[in-house]
Amino acid sequence: MIKGIIFDLDGVLVSTDELHYQAWKRLADELGITAFNREDNKRQRGVSRMASLEVVLEKSDKKYTDEEKVELADRKNGYYVELLQNMDDSAVLKDVKPTLKALKEKGLLLAVGSASKNAPAILEKTGLLPLLDKVSCGLDTTKSKPDPEVFLVAAKKLNLDPSECIVVEDSQAGIDAAKAGGMKSLSVGPFYDSMGADYSAPLLCDEKDWDKIVS
């Protein structure tokens, strides 16, 4: 029986995916990597900052040292954090707040499982933090999705077995991570019907669908 729901953050609860793209694009342009595009950006969804940087650099002939890569990732994060400054609850995706409240009222435990080290700041700025029981994010983990670590930490923080949790995700890496962790999965977002999840829906499901999923 499902007792807990673990939500990915970017692309599931809030729309920060465009801000990530703009920050990576700014860095890519500075490095003269003009071929970096939205198609590449799809592969950056849900994966860590350093793994996302590799997606940008694979279009460059230049080889960067590990030290240089850390500087580049920090620089991109600076641009991203700049873009986050103006963020407020308008960044929360449609129906998210009423859905979280309704799920809470059904007695379900709710957590975030996000690769982002900026997750706590984003949750604070958007007013989502009080609606969640626990947060597991890039600050708690060393391995990037599709490794299940971030979701296993979330389940542990909720005091639940992985088999009692369902993960809601917008990225293939996240759906693969849920499966690797022994959890059920629901895929949402623009690529929802092609990720091989247990359940799929373009947006967070309505109440009727949730009743089926958690029963």
CB of 201 to ligand B16, least distance (A): 17
Six-digit token pair at 86? Answer: 């103006």
Q: What 8-state DSSP symbol labels residue 87?
A: -
Residues of this chain that bind Mg ion (CB under 5 A): 8, 10-11, 46, 170-171
Residues 51-70 touching ligand B16, rule: CB under 6 A, are 52
Query: Residue 157, interface with ligand B16 (CB under 6 A)?
Result: no
8 is annotated as an active-site residue: yes
Query: Residue 20, interface with ligand B16 (CB under 6 A)?
Result: yes
Looking at the chain, the number of H-run helices and the number of E-run strands are 9, 6
How many residues appear in the chain?
A: 215
CB of 8 to ligand B16, least distance (A): 5
CB of 46 to Mg ion, least distance (A): 4
Kindly tell me the sign of the dihedral angle through the C-alpha atoms of 115, 196, 189, 169.
negative
Query: Residue 49, interface with ligand B16 (CB under 6 A)?
Result: yes
Give long-range contacts, CB 8 A cutoff, 24+ apart: 121-125. Answer: 121/84, 122/9, 122/14, 122/16, 122/84, 122/87, 122/91, 123/9, 125/84, 125/87, 125/88, 125/91
CB of 148 to ligand B16, least distance (A): 13
* Cβ neighbours for 11, distance < 8 A, ≥ 6 positions apart: 17, 45, 46, 170, 171, 189
| Catalytic pick among 8, 17, 40, 176 | 8
Tell me which stretch binds ligand B16 (CB under 6 A): 47-55, 100-108, 151-159, 175-183.
47-55
Which does residue 134 bind out of ligand B16, Mg ion, none, counting CB within 5 to 8 angstroms by kind? none
Among 2, 75, 77, 213, binds ligand B16 (CB under 6 A): 77
CA-closest candidate to residue 54, choices 69, 33, 75: 69
**CB nearer ligand B16, residue 115 or residue 131:** 115
10 is annotated as an active-site residue: yes
Which positions are catalytic? 8, 10
